[in-house]
A and B are shown apart, each in its own frame.
Chain A
Amino acid sequence: MTTTDALTVRRNELVRGLLDILPADAVLHLAEALRPYECDGLSAYRRLPMAVALPSSVEQVRAIMRLCHRLRIPVVPRGAGTGLSGGALPLSDGLLLSLAKLKSILNLDPVARTARVQPGVRNLAISQAALPHGLYYAPDPSSQIACSIGGNVAENSGGVHCLKYGLTVHNLLRLEVVTAEGELLSLGSDAPDAPGYDLMALMTGSEGLLGIVVEATVRLLPLPERAQVLLAAFDDVARAAAAVGEIIAAGIIPAGLEMMDKLAIQAAEAFVHAGYPVAAEAILLCELDGTNDEVSEHVMQVRQLLLRCGATEVRTARDEAERQRFWAGRKSAFPAVGRLSPDYYCMDGTIPRRRLPEVLTRIRELSVEYGLAVANVFHAGDGNLHPLILYDANRPGELERTEQFGARILQACVDAGGTITGEHGVGMEKIDAMCGQFAAPELAQFHAVKAAFDPDGLLNPGKAVPTLHRCAEFGAMHVHHNELKFPDLPRF
């Protein structure tokens, strides 16, 4: 039997099994129906799955997992498909499991300040439901109108407010998870500190490799009495970066502290007319929130401080509409940059804040070396960079050059004491970069963790953690500082 025939036989077997569990319209297997699922937000990687399943209950998810376990068919979970690292990229011999139909807010408890939601609920929908109670869900990825809470858990997503309010992992109380074998487990607790090992910490950010999140209980916070945003313009990126450190050194933790460079400022301005100073080399957006008095006190302090740090202009949003406009420019920076060039590639390194000027200089040098423009947008408060490389996939070789450029940026982040991904995840995209960040014993430990949850390796295999073999091959191509990272492994 040829491999294509074998695949067809398996597909038929899978689809038959799925039709016992789901109504016919919740099982997709024809090429045109599969097409919308061929990629996530990283569209450079595309692949069709064997089939797509769209369960609408936890029991159906369990039955699907039991079926796939019995048939030894790998499963790739998918939320809203906004991920930027190819985490939800289908496997051609696997099932794509969409959690999009599980989209109910099951319970919102204003007294306990918690919301119990299904995984397909959109991030922003939680805050909207909480609004009448004066509460909100703090982690706010820029994709929050679309991305699902299940995807947020799987990526440990952050947002512009995470310096002060934490990442997804800091705002979860409990998860209901279906294992690779179809078992339902409860991680965390409605009470503080669940007994035993903190599996919720492990599950958060595990990119669908350890379990399927079928329910999340999240913490809600009271909406601050007031939020005010300052916009500071600088004629030098390094000076803007230094100002970030100064604000924190002054003992102030802003609710958000974002930076954009010239190209990003101009793109955003052209796109949403946020009123940004287009001649500036960099702008800082600094949001301060809290009680009315507290915000007034901090606005004065930060204003003085920014001017002392060499800001050429500091503006305070006059009203809520202007505050929203300032943020609209930042939150639409990716699509705005997308208008400048046929394609863009978003990077996600994190570095210690004080290394910002030198890493930005390095990115500029690399931009010249590769002949590709870069726009920089970043969560400056926590050192999370999003360089956006502009390219044209239709020009032969340009995607490959872009990826090489991107890999060099990530290596620069690791060399500066940082990491290859702050919030977008490893997925398929950064699988080789993982070999530069971790040595063989750590990777082996990751695989052992994976095996404890998923002994047959059926959950999103091939993503997030590279095999030692892959790294040995990759290492042979990229010898770092002339040292071999995997000296013990056979090379071929």
Chain B
Amino acid sequence: MEPMTRLTSTTLVLPEENIDTDQIIPARYLTTTASSGFADAAFRDWRFDANDQPIGDCVLNEPDAPNRKILVAGANFGCGSSREHAPWALRDFGFRVVVSSRIADIFSGNARNCGVLPVVVSEEDNAWLLANPGAEVTVDVEQGTIEFNDRKVAFELDEFSRYRFMNGQDVLGYILAQGEAIDAYEQRVENP
């Protein structure tokens, strides 16, 4: 994954609450064995009608939407299925950060694993961000802060994820390096 230390972008706002992973990528796009190339499938049924014509008033169809790297959404973003295709689709569309007052567990983990940073802010801060689409926002991974409207607030980011985002490192290498501990565990449990 691509490293990320500090990122400034204007936001794209989807104010709906409970945006589930079926909205982010409909199931018919899951019959693939690839892990990239999902930009067209992202929010497909919000962006295109039944005849594959773009839906005029959808903010995701605005010409500069793919340049907005920060998505701000209503509460409980990413609920529903565990399909990692959802954060893959957001990533391929152009987002690097998702901000909401609540983000679903499995989605959060999946997003981190593919280089999309979930940022949880308070309801008040999210309300401001939702009310100000296109606001300029800076996310500082090193400090664990998000800056907007002349404010700077901290968000929760564990040490391990911070390190991974800043260095663009995946998790598998880390677990593989614990091979001896895994061997010892199996030995202890399986041949007591």
Bound pair (A, B) = no
Interface, chain A (partner B; CB < 8 A): none
Interface, chain B (partner A; CB < 8 A): none
